[in-house]
Structure 1
Amino acid sequence: MIRLLLMLCVVLHCAPTVAWGYDQAPQNFRAADMLPAEMLKGPQFSVDPTVRNDGYMNVYTLHSAYGDFTVVSTNLLKQRICELAAIEAIDKIDLSKEFGDSVVEGGQKMIEGAKKIVTRPDEVVTGVFSGIATAFERAEENLVESNRSQTEDGAAKNLIGFSKAKREYAVELGVDPYSTNQALQERLEKLSWAGYTGGLTFGLATAVVPGAAGIAVTSVRYGELIQEIDLTKAPADLRRENREKLLAMGVGESAARVFINNTFFSPSGQSFLVAALDKSRGVADRQAFVEFAATTDSMDLAYFRQRMAAMYYTYHAEHGLAGFFAVDRFIAARTKAGEMLVCFPLDYGMWTSATATVMRYFDTIAADKGMRRKILMVDGRLSPAARKELSAMGWTVREGS
């Protein structure tokens, strides 16, 4: 941080005294100016005409028969719209009529029994395992298992196998089992209890799913990454596989463990990011990206950074990256052509004082590393002021990546 401040002082001291044409953020925009027509309104939803932008990301209000949702980012809005189709499909199945309330009641009794095993294991394990065997089993779990993410079911549901059924239903319906959409989670819970304790088959559950259901995919490359992940697997198994992939690509044990233990990444999000790095074969110092991701301290930021990893992978697959390197609190890459590449999955990036300071710092680092050409890739668009100022600074801007 001290180095960052010193470098900024040099940049600001040497910079010409011009009046920067900063955008005013936050701002309100029209949804119709930000979204294609098919995302503005559909059979199950409508997007509020007014969109709030904080200078980087759009914040939408999604109206539906299942409630209103505040959605940060255009890509997450696509996912929420897809999830509405799955919600509608589940609601078409009259679970209470088909299986009765006793299904859910029976499931809750199973949970209570499982909680007893988790919270008072000595009372239930006696007679099944010896004390020595139990001690070794618990030691193995403590040594191998990582922190449970904030999006996972509790230990009791995992123990009785309910969570496995829920994951399988979610995948069949084409949605992320770890979605933070509470309306979807409530219905997945009800559907899974019916299947787990009442024998509801996948065919009955998924026969009415519209073709629009599915995890939002914004490009062929993103689709490739999603195909790499088996979301029916237990979260612990995904974490173990992710750790093994990180170690295999040269990431140190300590750095891998810190990242894997970051609970702001869902098992699906963590796996998506690791898949992007794993498929970026031949790129040096992928550990720098892992260390950068390990500092994530919110779910919004986790979602942002996993998409950032996908953007770097997309560039590598099409043009080639040489390696990653840290830029204070950010990450950048050197292309095989020797350019600096910075990827930000922004919806609508404005030219603010903060943006100007960050991009000037990237300029300084590029000069230090002898990179004469600089490329900025964004998922969405930049404001006219941002495009103008970045062009004046010598950046090549690629929008809609």
Structure 2
Amino acid sequence: MITYDQPSNVERRSTSILVLTMMFSVALPCLAQTREPFEVRRAEAAFEELPILNASEILQPEFLTGPHYKVREPVPTYSGANQFTIDSDFGEFEANGNEMLVTRVKEINAIARLKEVSRTDGFKNALKNAAKAPIASAKNIVTDPVNTISNAPKGLMKFMRRAGESLRNVGDKSESHDAEGSKMQQLIGFSDAKRKVAISLDIDPYSTNTVLQHELDGIAWASFAGGMSVQLATMPMGGPALTVVGVTSSLNDVLKEKSPTDLKMMNRKTLRAIGAGEKDTERFLNNSAFSPSQQTAFVLNLKALNGVANRGAFVRTAGETSSNESDAIFCVQTAALMSKIHRDKPIARLAMIGDFPVCVAKDGTVIVAFQWDYAAWTSGTANFTSDVQKLAGQSGKNQNVLVALSGQVSPRLRQELETRGFTVHDRLAPGPLK
């Protein structure tokens, strides 16, 4: 349960509590074009450099190393995310952020399990049976999804902009992957078999991990065309990441039972029901930055914000701004954190500061909650802190400022914010962190 510090006597006289957490980990180009406040210029020499963390110091043991993988020790922090490199028996993997690290570790364990199955006599016999089946010639339509890497700004840094600024970058088609599979695959039931194999391993059937997709294809084909009975399970991982709050079971059920086309129809109906406009709904549903799983997770989390007005504004910015997998993860994680807060402190509506969704609680508290792995005191943070203070002072009354992060705040940043009267809550969704 999230707890909040009690306000002082002066703070109690405030008619509302302003909760803003929009800080930057690096200075953005747009900030360089704006004259810095005197306070920021004076503190320039004292800003923190974004650190390189040590994996052995920040990760739970089961995420640091396993039978088939080891995370490299240096962990740079930029774009609002910890940057992990994983050496495994199946190649090198990059993980842009805590949430993606959890996903990749699960996938590596799943790859190992799938390879074990592919060495069994049952699998070999199933392939022989599949070769004799009338649909054997359809196997050549199974292709790995494309996993395109982009150097464009991702995740938190895509969304964190000064108040009033907006980004309008629609998903780049070059980053799309063939998540839905071909029409032929769906017709012959291959996609259905593949989804069920993936869900049984607690992994995303639409993952961009090409090594995983290759192994899934083989086992799913043996199951569908060769009649092999698949019994798969992997050891559960500790430190659950904040993917979907309170709706994980629902997500797994719909991913297992519904095709991508059915998911899109379901998500469209839900988005329109919570108040998203038709144009914004279609833009989001057709944004290839979101896999069917991520799209559904985002929608289910917004649905969990039961009774909250203006959820369509978040749908609009997600559809307009997201252009890669990191952006999609940021949207899913932020919506999930909002859902978590909503359970303890009911939210009345969402408001927008630029492209960033802000929660306004029923008691008047304004809460900005977001996914950020490691936050430090940088020039960008200082610039935005100054903007927040100006905004908080517009009413002429003292107001509280609450910072709520999924990850970790540096000691220096905490000191700077608390000195200015901010209340700071971090590690609300630590994921793989100790």
What TM-score comes out, normalization by structure 2 length? 0.74
Aligned CA RMSD, in angstroms, stands at: 3.0
Which residue pairs with 2:352 in the alignment?
A: 326
CA contact (8 A) 2:244 2:332 kept: no
Which SS does the other structure have where 1:68 is aligned?
A: strand
Q: Which has the higher contact order (CA 8 A, sep 6+)?
A: 2
> Structure 2: how far apart are the matches of 1:226 and 1:291?
24
Cα deviation 1:309-334 (Å, max 9, x = unaligned): 00011101111112111111322111
Which residue pairs with 2:248 in the alignment?
A: 226
The answer on 1:395 being equivalent to 2:422 is yes
Answer with 12-21 or 245-254: which moved more.
12-21
Amino acid at match of 1:283: V
CA contact (8 A) 1:149 1:265 kept: no
Identical amino acids, percent of aligned pairs? 29
Task: Name which of 43, 46, 58 aligns with 2:70.
Answer: 46
Taking a change above 3 Å as real, the CA distance of residues 190 and 278 of structure 1, as seen in their structure-2 partners, is same
Structure 2 gaps of 5+ residues are: 1-29, 144-175, 429-434
Which residue pairs with 2:407 in the alignment?
A: 380
Which residue pairs with 1:163 in the alignment?
A: 191
Task: Name which of 258, 263, 267 aligns with 1:238.
Answer: 263
> Structure 1: how far apart are the matches of 2:282 and 2:271?
10
Q: Following TM superposition, where does structure 1 have runs of at least 4 consecutive aligned residues deviating by more than 3 angstroms?
A: 12-17, 100-108, 111-115, 148-152, 358-371
Which residue pairs with 1:306 in the alignment?
A: 332
**TM-superposed deviation, 1:378:** 1.0
The answer on 1:273 being equivalent to 2:295 is no
CA contact (8 A) 1:48 1:62 kept: yes
CA contact (8 A) 2:308 2:350 kept: yes
**TM-superposed deviation, 1:150:** 4.9
> Structure 2: how far apart are the matches of 1:362 and 1:242?
35
> Structure 2: how far apart are the matches of 1:101 and 1:16?
70
Higher helix share: 1
Which SS does the other structure have where 1:152 is aligned?
A: coil
Give the length in aligned residue pairs: 357
Which residue pairs with 2:236 in the alignment?
A: 212
Which SS does the other structure have where 2:350 is aligned?
A: strand
Which residue pairs with 2:361 in the alignment?
A: 335
Taking a change above 3 Å as real, the CA distance of residues 111 and 194 of structure 1, as seen in their structure-2 partners, is closer
Amino acid at match of 2:244: Y
Which residue pairs with 1:251 in the alignment?
A: 276
Amino acid at match of 1:217: P
Which residue pairs with 1:153 in the alignment?
A: 181
> Structure 1: how far apart are the matches of 2:98 and 2:369?
16
Taking a change above 3 Å as real, the CA distance of residues 100 and 355 of structure 1, as seen in their structure-2 partners, is same
**TM-superposed deviation, 1:337:** 2.7
Amino acid at match of 1:280: L
> Structure 1: how far apart are the matches of 2:322 and 2:392?
24
Amino acid at match of 2:211: A
> Structure 1: how far apart are the matches of 2:141 and 2:294?
31
The answer on 1:82 being equivalent to 2:106 is yes
> Structure 2: how far apart are the matches of 1:69 and 1:53?
17
Cα deviation 1:72-121 (Å, max 9, x = unaligned): 11222122222222222211112663334674797662256899xxxxxx
Which SS does the other structure have where 1:224 is aligned?
A: coil
CA contact (8 A) 1:111 1:156 kept: no
CA contact (8 A) 1:47 1:62 kept: yes
Taking a change above 3 Å as real, the CA distance of residues 313 and 182 of structure 1, as seen in their structure-2 partners, is same
> Structure 1: how far apart are the matches of 2:37 and 2:76?
34
Answer with 325-334 or 366-375: which moved more.
366-375
What TM-score comes out, normalization by structure 1 length? 0.80
CA contact (8 A) 1:243 1:260 kept: yes
Which residue pairs with 1:358 in the alignment?
A: 384
CA contact (8 A) 1:243 1:256 kept: yes
Cα deviation 1:263-308 (Å, max 9, x = unaligned): 1011111111111110101111111111121121111111111101
CA contact (8 A) 1:86 1:213 kept: no
Amino acid at match of 2:225: T
> Structure 2: how far apart are the matches of 1:16 and 1:78?
37
The answer on 1:187 being equivalent to 2:212 is no
